[in-house]
Every structure is written in structure tokens, then in C-alpha cells.
Structure 1
């Protein structure tokens, strides 16, 4: 089983585990051993899955504004955790390939391995939920047919993205691509960088 097959299996396990309770307040029960890539991938998708459902909840037109603001704060914190974990995954691969010397003509990819993995995790969620819609008994036949067509596209995207990630890993291992990692440097949660936050602090 190659890397993306393993990741896809773990992502879907996380999604299935979450939907046993289907509650955004459910605490993660990571089944994988500490300090393993599998454990990191499971945690990554769990964050994505919870946030997926938080985004659904906050779009309820009848939601109480105070509750919506509370959820928005949770989503902001979740986004920061997601970014931190993606960067951690990149760090894992950076260490894995630290002994590889890139060739003089080695290229630099437009995105890192972990950000491609991030897209794969989100894609697993799209496939799961589109599959539910494509088979929902209470939906119209037209709705199910439209969702089935979309599901077919998502499954093709899964194949293509998986192939691209595996090719990138092989290219880095062979020295054909130079692995270079940049921090995202998110500013909205940083009290020293977000004007709204630091101006509020100065007024105290």
C-alpha cells in the first residue's frame, strides 16, 4: 500500500469514527500509536471533519447571532490547529528526506506535500458527503443523479491527486524536486500582527 492509499484509508476511518456520534463536541479517540505518521494523519482529518460540520451549523439562517459568533471563534481556532498540523506533517517529511541531496537542476513544487495531503483530506470528506447525497432516499431522483455525476468527478480527482502526491514523493526522494517548506505565518490570530487585536490591547 503506497502513501496516499494509506492516508485515504486513515482519513475515511476518521470520518466514519466521527459519524458514529456526529457531534462536533465529540473528543478525538485516536487509534494509532504516538509519534507515528498514521496518528498525525488521523488527527488532521478529525480536525477537518469537525470543522466541516461547524461550517454547516453556522450557515443555519435561524442560528442565534451570539451562538454563531461563538462557533466562528471555534472555527478560527480550528483553522490555526489545521495549519499547525499541516506544517508538522511537512516537518515530518522534511526529516524523512533530510539525507537526500537535490540534483542541480531540481525543481521546486508549487505546494508542499502536506498541503497536498490537506487537499486529499478535504476531498475524502467531499466524497463521503456527496455519496450520502447520491444515495439519499428522501431526495429526488434528479438530485441523486446530479450528486452521482459530481461524485464521479470527485473520485477522478482522488485518483489524480493521489497520483500527483505519490509522484511528488518519488521526485523528492530521487532528488528531482527540492523540498522547501515555508511557514504560513497566519496573522489573524496573532495579537501582535492583527490590528484589531493589538489596537484593542493598546486601549486597555
Structure 2
């Protein structure tokens, strides 16, 4: 892993994968940093569709319970991948010769978290377009969804530009980079009282 692709490459990867995975089995043909982004994106893709199932009025209590456990595992893996992406950026910064930046300003979110948000936004854009283009959609429905698509596109562009600026600042030594550990408690049997009490 020697280079960091531009944000436009990463967002296109996310957009392309969402469309491809709806039509063929999930795959990850990438390498290096892009492979990590695709892997993280896959967890968001799976989460999106599990959450759809959980909200179905036809889902049984047993089905919802199974989906909830799946969502917890996927969400843990998703957050683990955000950390891996940020760790990879740390390695790339070191390889690029960026020195100690601990005295410099730091962003309110990490690059990995922004990549995660862009992943979710690519899913939102795909599914909004899917709902807009439904054969049974009314003109009023299409107009409402079109407005939301337009807003999502603006937000996607804004976040993409902000992330690119952040990455440029990091590699120029103008900002500090850290990996923030998610430290989720709900899946840890030693920290979730509903788990460790049940084992007692």
C-alpha cells in the first residue's frame, strides 16, 4: 500500500459497487487502500439491507431478533474497518515522510469516518433513484424523491471536497491525523451487563 487514491476514485468505487452488487454477487477486486474502502463499504451495503428487513411489517419477532444480531455484528465490523482505514492512512503518512503533527489542529472526524459517511450516501443515492423510478410511482412521489436526490448529491459533493481538503492537509503536514478507537461496548461479553449477567 504505497499511494492514497484521490477521493473521486474512492467515491466512484462506492457508487460502482452499489450498482454492481445489486445485480451480481458481492466481490472485491481491488488492492491496497481501495481494497480496504471496498471492504468497509460492503459492511454498509449489508447493513442497509438487513435494516430494511428489520423494519418490514411482515417480519416475525424471531426474524427481527435474528436480524438485530446480524446488524450488531455488521456494525461492529463496519466500525473496525473505519479504524483499519485510519490506520492505513497513518502508515501512508509515515511512508510519505510526514513528521510529528501532534501540535497541529485536528478535524472533528477522521478520514475513515468521512469515507464511511460517503459510503452510506452512495447507498442512499442508489436507493432514492430506485424508488423514484418505480413503475407505480406517482408524479408527486417522483418530484419529492428528485428533490431528495438533488440534496443528497450536494451533500455528497460537499463531503467529498471536504475530505479531499483534509487529506491534502494531512499529507502536507498542516493537520494532525489520529485513529479514534470506536470502543463499542455492546458486543463485548465483559462490558455488556445483559451478556455477562446471563452467563453468571
Indicate whether the TM-score tops 0.5. yes
- Highest relative contact order (Cα 8 Å, sep 6+), 1 or 2? 2
Equivalent residues of 1:192, 1:198 under 8 A apart: yes
What do residues 106-136 of structure 1 show as CA deviations (whole Å, max 9, x unaligned)?
A: 2011111000100000000111111122222
TM-score by length of 2: 0.92
Equivalent residues of 1:30, 1:43 under 8 A apart: yes
1:67 and 2:63 matched: yes
Q: Secondary structure at the match of 1:97?
A: helix
Q: Which residue in the other structure is 1:41 paired with?
A: 37
1:76 and 2:79 matched: no
Q: How does 1:1-204 map to 2 (within 5 A)?
A: 3-21=6-24, 28-33=26-31, 36-98=32-94, 99-102=97-100, 106-202=104-200
Q: Secondary structure at the match of 2:17?
A: helix
* Unmatched segments (≥5 aa) in structure 1: none
Q: Secondary structure at the match of 2:143?
A: helix
* Unmatched segments (≥5 aa) in structure 2: none
Q: How many residues align?
A: 195
Q: Indicate the larger mover: 67-76 or 6-15.
A: 6-15
1:147/1:66 CA distance change after superposition, 3 Å: same
After superposing on structure 2, the runs of 4+ consecutive aligned residues of structure 1 that deviate more than 4 Å are 102-105
User: Considering only aligned residues, what root-mean-square deviation do their CA atoms show, in Å?
Assistant: 1.7
Equivalent residues of 1:102, 1:177 under 8 A apart: no
